[in-house]
Amino acid sequence: MTANVLAAVAAVVVFAFILWLLRRGVLKEKYAVLWLFVSVVAAVLAIVPGAARWVATAVGVEIPANLLFFVTIVLLVLVSVQLSYELSRQDAKIRRLAEESALIEERLRRLEGRDGGPSSP
């Protein structure tokens, strides 16, 4: 019973922390939805201990903890893949912006040289 109370408190703390990050603008909504959902599910499983056993039986897993570990690992892999995708996207944007900036800088250097204005070395 104590473990269930601890798990429920942890889920509520995570939920409150995610809301706090959202309010401060540190975390975007598209990322927060997943963590809010996870914390709500964790709270429900902690408050209703029979729910984990029922879900495990429905899925065909003998020990509910094994199902919990499997779902957690899958969730973490999906988060990792999603973050890798976002990182790749941002890398491409940064590369494109750096190229555009270099082209604009070169064009500006040529225009300054042509007009007789000060040119940088």
* pLDDT tens per residue across span 95-111: 999 999 999 999 999 99
* pLDDT tens per residue across span 36-90: 998 999 889 888 878 889 999 999 999 988 988 999 999 999 989 999 999 999 9
28: left (phi over 0), alpha (psi -120 to 50) or beta: beta
Strands (E), the chain: none
Q: Which two tokens stand for residue 59?
A: 């899925």
Distances (CA, A) of 43 to 10, 14, 15, 21, 51: 8, 10, 9, 19, 11
Q: What is the structure's pLDDT at 68?
A: 87
* pLDDT tens per residue across span 22-48: 999 998 888 889 889 989 998 898 888
Nearest-angstrom CA–CA distance, 81 and 40: 23
Model-wide pTM > 0.85: no
pLDDT bin (cut points 50, 70, 90) of residue 92 is: very high
